[in-house]
């Protein structure tokens, strides 16, 4: 990696003119947890999740409260696995897909941890990890926590139609994952760290003019393409330097678009590409293009990806969840659906 | 300030067990800009804003697009005033009140700056400044930009009723400010810096069980109380150490609640308290309790507060915008309206 034009400010290192951060001090994922709904529990990763709900309301009266409960359970589990108490966590980074990040507002108040709310649509898991890494590498926290979630029923109601309407789903549509992932990030090496956070690439808004809210893969693929290319260029790497380059929820339609777009730019990721949305459900589960939602990337990271790193099956991966910057209002007003993708480089501990 | 139990990680300094960050290296507000609507232009601070719209649609077809335009204009102005170009800005922190931060998604794409979306309801201006300060003090950026906005018409439609419905407004209601404030934060001393960012207190969610979306002041005052007390305790200060302690949009009802709550805790801020929501409109403008919205604190900070610091009329202030964690869905489902407040300590440059 070329390190000319580097600048030292405070304690960390950045390079001017580059979009990425090479994390200058060790930052660890100390522990993590995943809580999912019934459909995810029956999928190919089912046995790896920490908790599977008996039903998707998680004992609550509304879908939104159920989603808040997912976050609460995931964070409680993650803090417990890290052997910490709430007051050890200096900052909590959290967000979700609902209007005004409602699942986080009502799921996380009882923890009493200073909260920095973030919004990156389905890229939120990477945005929380990137923000926590910046804080920890910069020396303002010893422990930070990251939480995000999505819920099939609350998301359909928020972005498309209430479930009771029974709308038809085209082949390009994806199925919002009911799930929450929580991560404890630390500046100190622990005995059982799951991975190290070594690089961050913050994405830009990329708008290819797609307007179809039933084809999120097409909306987000251009952003994933931009962030992956920028990351590789900033770090002077090629796709084969990674055991996997993992998008969050492009699904089968978006995966094809991403691979084609990158190939046009002379970058072939086909052999190392994985998409959480494709992994989380079996084809027999009838999810059309695959899984989606903030929770999709978050629970797959916690349950499956970190396991491979922890067990040294993979040495280095690039985690690139993508977000579709869509709202009901913007959709109804005929706006496009821009995308954004943030990338996190993770290595085995 | 007691600095025992201090820890050095990376380059910055934090104290375990405290909620605040004493910013360990100089961080400057290099430049800022404010763009407002017609009503704000006619208010007491009217002559101080950088741009006042001719009408509140800002040449757009929808209120949401108008709000995006506010952000675009404010950021363009701020970057220009700082003598920078878009590519000099390493990170952009932005958010707004609309579902899925729609105003930011559609207002900021054209800048091509890596975007970290944040959500803190009406505390968002402080959350963007806190996040940028953490990044810059930690050494991962030389320049960052912060943008937030609100718009009366888009907010009424988002949270209460469309304007055309003509609902009545109780005396406790506030008037969402049409405006956007943008700030350029830098690690380097400039010739005309507006202020220095010296302390940050990230707030917790505080829920007193208030459910009235027409009384945001009462929902948010408990959070302001908690954050102000924590800040003073963490820094070992008293209210008179500040020329002003400035909340964002408590309005007249919330101000009274805050002063009373703090007095019960043995802390009297009455002589130094100011609320942006009370300053921005004249009583004759019929806004009931005062102004509110992300834009309220942001434009008042840019146009009025930073001017006092820049001109050395004030030496040190505490800027504490408060957010009501409310969504249409949570309100309709009978949920409470929790609050959150983040505090930023600013000193004259």
User: At A1, is the secondary structure helix, strand, or coil?
Assistant: coil
Stretch among A13-17, A54-58, B47-51 having the lowest mean pLDDT: A13-17
Q: What is the CATH number of domain B197-347?
A: 3.40.47.40
pLDDT at B2: 32
The CATH code of domain A26-186 reads: 3.40.47.40
Distance of alpha carbon A217 from alpha carbon A290, whole angstroms:
10
For the segment A127-146, what is each residue's pLDDT rounded down to a tens digit? Answer: 999 999 999 998 889 999 99
pLDDT of residue B318 exceeding 60, the answer is: yes
What is the model's pLDDT at position B14? 57
Q: For the segment B266-295, what is each residue's pLDDT rounded down to a tens digit?
A: 999 999 999 999 999 999 999 999 999 999
CA distance B233 to B2: 10
Q: Which two tokens stand for residue A102?
A: 């409602």
Residue B18's pLDDT is: 80
pLDDT band at A18 (very low <50, low <70, confident <90, very high): confident
Nearest to A329 among B21, B99, B203 (CB): B99
Burial label, A229 (beta-carbon count in 10 A; 0-12, 13-18, 19+): middle
CATH code of the domain occupying A195-347: 3.40.47.40
Asked if domains B25-186 and B197-347 share a fold, the reply is: yes
> Chain B partners of A90 at a C-beta cutoff of 8 Å?
14
State percent of chain B over pLDDT 70.
95
Residue A252 has pLDDT above 80, yes or no: yes
Strands B195-201, B28-36: parallel, antiparallel or unpaired by DSSP?
antiparallel
Residues of B in contact with A115 (CB under 8 A): 202-205, 340
- Tracing tokens 């009406």 back to the chain, one arrives at B122
Shortest distance, CA A203 to any CA of chain B (angstroms): 5
CB pair distance less than 8 Å for A105 and B21: no
pLDDT of residue A290: 96
For B:233-262, CB contacts with A below 8 A are none
What pLDDT sits at residue A14? 56
Q: Percent of chain A beyond pLDDT 70?
A: 95
Write down the CATH superfamily of domain B25-186.
Answer: Stage V sporulation protein AD (3.40.47.40)
Interval B124-141: pLDDT, tens: 999 999 999 999 998 889
Whether A102 sits inside 8 A of B329 (CB atoms) is yes
User: What is the model's pLDDT at position A9?
Assistant: 41
* 3-state DSSP assignment of residue B267: coil
Contact B17/B5 with Cβ under 8 angstroms? yes
**B204-238 per-position pLDDT tens digit:** 999 999 999 899 999 999 999 999 999 999 999 99
Q: What is the pLDDT of residue B1?
A: 31
Cβ <8 Å between B14 and A330: no
Torsion of CA A322, A31, B343, B18, to 10 degrees: -170
Task: Confirm whether the ipTM is greater than 0.90.
Answer: yes
Q: What is the mean pLDDT of residues A287-305?
A: 97
- State whether A134 and B135 contact (CB < 8 Å): yes
Q: Answer yes or no: do B118 and A121 touch at CB < 8 A.
A: no
- More confident call, B2 vs B256: B256
Q: What is the pLDDT of residue A227?
A: 98
- pLDDT for the residue numbered A162: 87
- Give the pLDDT band (50/70/90) at residue A16: low
Give tens-digit pLDDT for B85-94: 999 999 999 9
Distance CA A326, CA A317 (A): 28
What residues contact residue B109 under an 8 Å CB cut-off, 6+ apart? A204, A205, A206, A207, A338
Determine the average pLDDT of the residues in A182-205: 97
Scanning the structure block, which residue is given the tokens 């609320």? B275
Which chain A positions have a beta carbon within 8 Å of B140's beta carbon?
Answer: 12, 14, 21, 134, 137-138
The answer to whether the CB atoms of B10 and A12 lie below 8 A apart is yes
For the segment A278-304, the average pLDDT, to the nearest whole number, is 97
Of all residues in chain A, the percent with pLDDT exceeding 90 is 91
Q: DSSP readout, A207-254? A: ------TT-HHHHHHHHHHHHHHHHHHHHT--GGGSSEEEESS-HHHH
Full-model pTM: 0.96
> Which positions in chain B touch A328 (Cβ < 8 Å)?
99
Q: Is the pLDDT confidence value at B6 over 50?
A: no
What confidence tier does A24 reach under pLDDT thresholds 50, 70, 90? confident
pLDDT tens, residue by residue, B28-72 = 999 999 999 999 999 999 999 999 999 999 999 999 999 999 999
Tell me the C-alpha distance between A320 and B14, whole Å: 30
CA-based nearest residue in chain A for residue B333: A62
CB environment B75-88: b (16+ within 10 A), e (fewer): bbbbbebbebeeeb
Judged by a CB distance cut-off of 8 A, whether residue A98 touches chain B is yes
The distance of Cα A47 from the centroid of its chain, to the nearest Å, equals 20
Residues 63-92 of A with CB under 8 A from B: 64-65, 87, 90-91
Q: Please check whether residue B335 touches A, CB under 8 A.
A: yes
Q: Does B35 contact A at CB distance below 8 Å? A: no
Domain extents for chain B?
Answer: 25-186, 197-347
Contacts of B12 in chain A (CB under 8 A): 10-11, 138-140
């Amino acid at each position: 990696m070329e390190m000319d034009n580097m600048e030292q400010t405070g304690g960390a290192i950045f390079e001017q003119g580059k979009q990425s951060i090479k994390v200058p001090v060790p930052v660890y994922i100390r522990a993590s947890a995943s809580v999912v709904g019934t459909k995810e529990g029956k999928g190919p990763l089912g046995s790896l999740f920490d908790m599977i709900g008996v039903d998707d309301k998680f004992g609550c009266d509304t879908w939104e409260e159920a989603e808040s409960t997912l976050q609460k359970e995931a964070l409680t589990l993650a803090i417990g696995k890290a052997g910490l108490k709430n007051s050890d966590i200096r900052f909590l980074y959290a967000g979700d897909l609902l209007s005004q990040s409602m699942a986080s507002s009502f799921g996380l108040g009882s923890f009493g941890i200073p909260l920095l709310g973030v919004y990156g649509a389905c890229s939120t898991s990477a945005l929380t990890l990137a923000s926590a890494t910046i804080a920890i590498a910069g020396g303002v926290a010893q422990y930070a926590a990251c939480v995000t979630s999505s819920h099939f029923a609350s998301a359909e109601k928020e972005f498309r139609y209430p479930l009771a309407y029974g709308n038809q789903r085209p082949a390009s549509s994806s199925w919002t994952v009911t799930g929450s992932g929580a991560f404890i990030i630390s500046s100190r090496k622990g005995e059982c760290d799951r991975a190290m956070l070594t690089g961050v690439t913050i994405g830009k808004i990329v708008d290819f003019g797609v307007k179809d809210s039933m084809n999120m893969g097409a909306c987000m693929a251009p952003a994933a393409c931009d962030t992956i290319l920028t990351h590789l260029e900033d770090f002077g790497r090629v796709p084969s330097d990674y055991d996997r380059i993992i998008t969050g929820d492009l699904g089968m339609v978006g995966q094809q678009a991403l691979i084609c777009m990158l190939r046009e730019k002379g970058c072939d990721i086909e052999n190392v590409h994985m998409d959480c949305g494709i992994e989380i459900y079996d084809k027999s589960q009838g999810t059309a293009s695959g899984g989606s939602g903030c929770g999709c990337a978050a629970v797959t990271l916690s349950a499956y990806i970190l396991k491979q790193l922890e067990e040294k099956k993979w040495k280095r991966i690039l985690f690139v969840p993508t977000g579709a910057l869509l709202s009901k209002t913007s959709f109804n007003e005929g706006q496009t659906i821009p995308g954004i993708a943030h990338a996190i480089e993770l290595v085995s501990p």
